[in-house]
C-alpha cells in the first residue's frame, strides 16, 4: 500500500532516509517542471530543483503538516528559483541556446507527425518560452504552477505568501502579456 506524503514525512522526521528518497521520486519531476518554467534553463533548473530537496531534507523536522507537503515543497522551489533568477538574470542568447539544445534532442514540445504542424508547434513553443522569459519571476511562478500543476489560487497564494486576489491579478496580467506576444500564433 502506498504511503501518504504525510506518512513519509513522519518517517523522515524519525530518521528514515529511504522515506525521503520516496518523496523525491514522487515530486522531482513536478518540482523540476516548476523550476525550469521559471528559470528557462535546464542545468540551472536541475541545480535549483536538487537544492530544493536538499533544503526540504534539512528542514523537514520543522514541517508540522499544517499545509500539504507539496505546497511546502513548491514554496521552497519557487523562492529558490526567484532568488536564483534575480541573481543570474540570464541573457536571451543563453535562452536560445537552451531552446536549440532542447529541440535538437527532441525534448521540446510534444510534436505532431505532420511536418507543417511540427514546424508550427516548434515555433509556437519557442515563442511561448521567449514570452514567458520576459515575465517577472512572480508572474512566471503563477503561470507555470497553474499550467503545469493546475494548482488552485489558494495553494498558489500559500506557496507565494500572498492573497488569492493577488494570484488572480498576477495570472490575469501574465496571460494578457502572453496573449499580446503570441496573438498571431494561438
Partner 1 sequence: MMMDCENVRKSLGAFLDEELNRSEAERIRMHAQGCPSCLAEKEQLERLQASLKSVLEGRASGVAFGPFWDGVRRRILEKKPWTARLWDWLRPALYPERLAWAIPVAIVLLLGIVSLEQFLPGWRGGSNRGNTTAVDSIDGHGFNVAVFRESKTKTTVIWLYENQEEEDESAAEPASPDTSF
Contact flag: residue 36 with partner 1 (CB under 8 A): yes
User: Least distance from C-beta 4 to partner 1, angstroms?
Assistant: 20
**Locate cell 519531476: which residue?**
29
DSSP of 29-80, one letter per residue?
Answer: HHHHHHHHHHH--HHHHHHHHHHHHHHHHHHGGG--SSS-HHHHHHHHHHHH
Q: Are 94 and 101 in contact (CB under 8 A)?
A: no
Contact flag: residue 61 with partner 1 (CB under 8 A): no
Site residues for partner 1, window 131-170 (CB under 8 A)? 132, 143-144, 146-148, 152-153, 164, 168
Contact flag: residue 179 with partner 1 (CB under 8 A): yes
Contact flag: residue 120 with partner 1 (CB under 8 A): no
* Maximum Cα–Cα distance across the chain: 56
In terms of CB distance, is 67 or 147 closer to partner 1? 147
Contact flag: residue 69 with partner 1 (CB under 8 A): no
Instruction: Kindly calculate the radius of gyration of the chain based on its CA atoms and give it in whole angstroms.
Output: 18
Among the listed residues 76, 84, 91, 96, the one whose alpha carbon sits nearest the alpha carbon of residue 38:
84
Contact flag: residue 48 with partner 1 (CB under 8 A): no
User: Least distance from C-beta 178 to partner 1, angstroms?
Assistant: 6
Per-residue burial over 23-36, b = 16 or more CB atoms within 10 Å of its CB, e = otherwise: bbebbeebbbbbbb
Contact flag: residue 13 with partner 1 (CB under 8 A): no
User: Least distance from C-beta 64 to partner 1, angstroms?
Assistant: 22
Among the listed residues 88, 80, 66, 64, the one whose alpha carbon sits nearest the alpha carbon of residue 9:
64
**Which residues, in sequence order, are CB contacts of 36 under 8 Å at separation 6+?**
42, 45, 49
How many residues interact with partner 1 (rule CB under 8 A)?
Answer: 50
By CB under 8 A, name the binding residues for partner 1.
21, 24-25, 28-29, 32-33, 36-37, 42, 46-47, 49-51, 53-54, 57, 79, 83, 86-87, 102, 105, 107-110, 124-125, 128-129, 132, 143-144, 146-148, 152-153, 164, 168, 171-172, 175, 178-179, 182-183, 186
Amino acid at each position: 500500500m502506498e504511503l501518504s506524503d504525510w506518512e513519509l514525512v513522519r518517517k523522515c522526521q524519525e530518521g528514515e532516509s529511504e522515506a525521503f528518497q520516496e518523496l523525491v521520486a514522487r515530486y522531482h519531476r513536478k518540482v523540476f517542471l516548476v523550476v525550469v518554467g521559471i528559470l528557462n534553463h535546464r542545468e540551472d533548473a536541475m541545480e535549483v530543483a536538487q537544492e530544493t530537496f536538499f533544503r526540504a531534507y534539512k528542514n523537514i523536522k520543522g514541517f508540522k503538516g499544517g499545509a500539504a507537503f507539496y505546497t511546502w515543497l513548491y514554496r521552497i522551489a519557487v523562492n529558490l528559483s526567484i532568488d536564483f533568477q534575480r541573481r543570474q538574470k540570464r541573457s536571451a542568447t543563453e535562452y536560445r541556446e537552451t531552446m536549440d539544445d532542447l529541440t535538437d534532442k527532441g525534448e521540446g514540445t510534444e510534436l505532431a507527425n505532420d511536418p507543417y504542424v511540427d514546424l508550427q508547434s516548434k515555433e509556437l513553443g519557442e515563442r511561448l518560452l521567449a514570452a514567458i522569459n520576459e515575465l517577472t519571476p512572480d508572474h512566471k511562478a503563477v503561470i507555470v504552477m497553474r499550467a503545469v500543476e493546475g494548482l488552485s489560487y489558494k495553494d498558489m497564494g500559500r506557496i507565494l505568501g500572498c492573497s488569492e486576489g493577488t494570484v488572480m491579478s498576477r495570472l490575469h496580467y501574465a496571460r494578457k502579456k502572453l496573449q499580446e506576444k503570441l496573438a498571431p500564433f494561438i
